[in-house]
Structure 1
Amino acid sequence: MKKSIIAFAAIALFASCDKKESTDSLHLTGNIKGLKNGTLYIQHIVDTSLVAIDSIKIDGNSSFERDIKLASPEMLYLFLDRGVTNSLDNNILFFAEPGNVHIETNLDNFIFGAKITGSKNQELYDEYKKINSRFNDENLALVEARFKAIKRQDQKAVDSIDAKNDSNIKRKYLFATNFAINNKDHEIAPYIALAEIYDINIKFLDTIQKSMTPKVAQSLYGKKLTKYVADIKKSEK
């Protein structure tokens, strides 16, 4: 947990801007079918907490549009205020980057019904999640099998399941590492290193960090990964 907090320390704030096009501007559009009234908040993480950087009032028209000054590609959240607790159940996570990004979803299936287009990093993130979900599904199946084995006091089965679980975790981390390296020219690479495998052996994080292209290395997550790796190396001396 400590490493996770270090990996996602405070970052520079964004500010909304006018509709004048620029190379560092995110033009966000979207539509939430079924939404008549409410407030949308565009958020990002600061010191492990979600902080709003802009808001959109919905009054009769379910479509929305915003231009946001974007210093670097970053994971943002589109939060729908339903008048209840600020829960991640109301938050759509999307990889924002300069250019046009569109979010299409509906009120009843806000998160899982969301379709995000226009961001290459988001496209890669969706690809990563699709494969990574297989490891998560296998882990859940093993947890259930282990529970049943313990219940019937079958220690041999428990040991076998534990071995399979260890193998599954190793394959999951290896996949994430290879995915990051294979996409070293996109900001998704350092993001995965920081968000998904921050607790992996430092040699793998170091390999990802060194593989980043100069452009990615100078991005928000690229700089954070470089510092994170340097801090770990320093603490291990």
Structure 2
Amino acid sequence: MKKITLALLFIATLVSCENKETNKEANVHITGDVKGLSQGKLYLQKIEDTTLIIIDSITIKGDSKFESHIKLESPEVLYLFLDRGQTNSVDNSLPFFAEPGNISIETTLKHFFADAKITGSKNHDLWVKFKEMNSRFNDENLALMAKRLKNELKPNTKTTDSIQVAYEKLLKRKYRYTAHFASTHGNAAIAPYLALSEIADINLSYLDTIHKNMKPEVAKTKYGKMLTKYIKERKASEK
């Protein structure tokens, strides 16, 4: 019995040391609160080779507050996923731009995505600023789609052409705004991320400008390296 107890103590010590070592290596400290959540699981996820993988899991029992220590090589978009059990809610995944330092996530069980307030990440603040303007383009696009559907009921060639012209102008405005935003924020990892996620098919000259405006430390980030590789591959394919 004594040997078993000693063995368990030894294992417990190893686990304790392992956790301390993990916390010591971690460079991102995430704290948060999902108000209204008394029991369940939260998962921190990231995209690795086009697949979402879990990098941390947190069990909630009674206290809606949570904490996580992780290590990131550079700023990166992560996803806080809420396991709602057997419910069919689609409001269960919260994307945020993580970076080394202290990040706070405050939200609610009822509106997990919509109520989220994330602080402590410069890249996330810039992402929110970008999405505020981008949502206007999306609203205009939805309005054009509604006009297009209405026109399909009673087709009118003149109306069809005007809608197409309006759509092309809107797309140009959106792409130019995104390219300008990325170019003027070359000191943040959000720049190459937006280039890849929003305007990857834009004219190469715009991507080159974004790439040239990236600070050396940004060029070394995950998205900076991905943009460099993408531009090189596009140039090779378009020769």
Whether TM-score is above 0.5 comes out as yes
Structure 2 match to 1:219: 221
Q: Which amino acid is the alignment partner of residue 196 of structure 1?
A: E
Higher helix proportion (structure 1 or 2): 2
CA separation in 2, counterparts of 1:88 and 1:207?
A: 38
1:84 Cα deviation after fit: 4.7
- Gaps of at least 5 residues in structure 1 are 1-14
- Residues 20-169 of structure 1 correspond to what in structure 2 (within 5 A)? 20=24, 25-84=27-86, 89-169=91-171
1:146 Cα deviation after fit: 1.2
Residue 141 of structure 2: SS of its match in structure 1?
helix
Residue 184 of structure 1: SS of its match in structure 2?
coil
> Do structure 1's residue 181 and structure 2's residue 183 form an aligned pair?
yes
Q: Aligned residue pairs: how many? A: 221
- CA 1:199 to 1:41, structure 2 compared with 1: closer, same or farther past 3 Å? same
**Stretches (4+) displaced over 3 A:** 15-20, 84-89
Q: After superposition, what is the alpha-carbon deviation per residue over 1:70-91, rounded to whole angstroms, capped at 9, x for unaligned? A: 1110000000011259986311
Asked if structure 1 preserves the Cα contact closer than 8 Å seen for 2:105 and 2:116, the reply is yes
Q: Which has the larger radius of gyration?
A: 2
- CA 1:93 to 1:87, structure 2 compared with 1: closer, same or farther past 3 Å? farther
CA separation in 2, counterparts of 1:176 and 1:81?
A: 33
- CA 1:152 to 1:54, structure 2 compared with 1: closer, same or farther past 3 Å? same
Root-mean-square deviation (Å): 1.9
- CA 1:44 to 1:139, structure 2 compared with 1: closer, same or farther past 3 Å? same
- Gaps of at least 5 residues in structure 2 are 1-18
Q: After superposition, what is the alpha-carbon deviation per residue over 1:124-182, rounded to whole angstroms, capped at 9, x for unaligned? A: 00000000000000000000011112212222111101100110011000000000001
Asked if structure 2 preserves the Cα contact closer than 8 Å seen for 1:75 and 1:96, the reply is yes
| Residue of 203, 206, 210 corresponding to 1:204 | 206
Asked if structure 2 preserves the Cα contact closer than 8 Å seen for 1:16 and 1:69, the reply is no
Asked if structure 1 preserves the Cα contact closer than 8 Å seen for 2:91 and 2:111, the reply is no
* Higher RCO by CA contacts (8 Å cutoff, separation 6 or greater): 1
- CA 1:34 to 1:137, structure 2 compared with 1: closer, same or farther past 3 Å? same
CA separation in 1, counterparts of 2:21 and 2:182?
A: 32
Counting aligned pairs with the same residue, the percent is 54
